[in-house]
Chain A
Amino acid sequence: MTDLALDHRGTGRWSFGVLHLSGLALALIIALGFMAPLIAPYDPNAVNLLNRLKPPVWLDGGSWANPLGTDSIGRDLLTRCLYGIRTSFGIAIFGLIFSAVLGVALGLLSGLGGKWVDRSVMTITDVFITLPNLLLLLCGITLLGTQIWVLVLMIGLVRWEAYARLVRGQVLTLREQGYVEASRALGSSRMRIALEHILPNLASPLVVILTLSFPGVLLMEAGLSFLGVGVQPPTPSIGRMIGDGRDYLVNAWWVSGVPSIVIATITLLFQLLGDSLRDRIDVRADG
Chain B
Amino acid sequence: MLRFMAIRFGRALITMFLVLVIAFLTLRLSGTPFAMMFPEGITDEHQAALEAKYGFDRPIWEQFIVYLGDIAVGNFGRSLYTSQPVWMMYTVRMPATIMVGGFALLLAIAIGIPLGAAAALYRRRVSTSAGMGLAFLGYAVPHFVIGIGLILFFGYYLALLPATGLETPSHYILPVVTLAIPMIAAIARFMRAAMLDAIGHDYVTTALSKGLTDRRIARIHILRNAMIPLITVLGLEIAGLLNGSIFVEAVFSLPGVGRVLIDAVQGRDYPVLQFGVIAYAAIVVSVNLLVDLAYVVADPRVRLEK
A141 and B196: CB pair below 8 A?
no
> Is B247 touching A132 in the complex (CB atoms < 8 A)?
no
Q: What is the interface of chain B mostly: helix, strand, loop, or mixed?
A: helix
Sorting the interface of chain B by its residue count into under 10, 10 to 19, 20 to 34 or 35 or more gives 35 or more
Bound-state CA distance A135–B278 (Å) is 10
Are B243 and A8 interface neighbours, CB within 8 A?
Answer: no
Q: Mark A105-133, 1 if CB is under 8 A from B, else 0.
A: 00000000000000000010011001111
**What separation, in Å, do the CA atoms of A222 and B145 have in the docked complex?**
10
- 23 of the cross-chain contacts (CB-CB < 8 Å) are A127-B15, A127-B22, A130-B19, A132-B239, A134-B242, A135-B261, A135-B273, A135-B276, A138-B276, A139-B277, A143-B26, A223-B247, A226-B250, A227-B250, A242-B144, A246-B251, A257-B148, A264-B140, A264-B142, A267-B142, A268-B140, A268-B141, A271-B140
Tell whether, in the assembled complex, residue A260 and residue B262 are in contact, meaning their CB atoms are under 8 Å apart. Answer: no
Known contacts A131-B277, A132-B280, A260-B145; A228 and B140 CB within 8 A of each other: no
Question: How far, in whole Å, are A268 and B246 apart by their CA atoms in the complex?
Answer: 22
Measured in the bound complex, the distance between the Cα atoms of B274 and A272 in whole Å is 38
Number of inter-chain CB pairs below 8 Å? 121
Q: Which of A62-70, A94-102, A248-256 contacts B (4 or more CB under 8 A)?
A: A248-256
Within 109-141 of B, Cβ neighbours of A (below 8 Å) are at 136-137, 139-141
The listed residue (B139, B152, B246) touching A134 by CB distance below 8 A is B246
With A5-B200, A249-B156, A260-B145 known to touch, is A142 a contact of B14 (CB < 8 Å)? no
B50 at interface by CB-CB < 8 Å: no
The distance from the CB of A219 to the nearest CB of chain B, in whole angstroms, is 5
Report yes or no: A130 in contact with B281, Cβ–Cβ below 8 A: yes
Which residues of A lie under 8 Å from residue B205 when comparing CB positions?
Answer: 3
State the CA gap A52–B113 with chains docked (Å). Answer: 47
Interface residues of B in 167-212 (CB under 8 A from A): 196, 199-200, 205
Determine which residue in A130, A133, A264 has the highest number of CB atoms from chain B within 10 A of its CB, and name it.
A130
Q: Which residues of B contact A271 (CB under 8 A)?
A: 136, 139-140
Is A215 in the interface zone, CB < 8 Å from B? Answer: yes
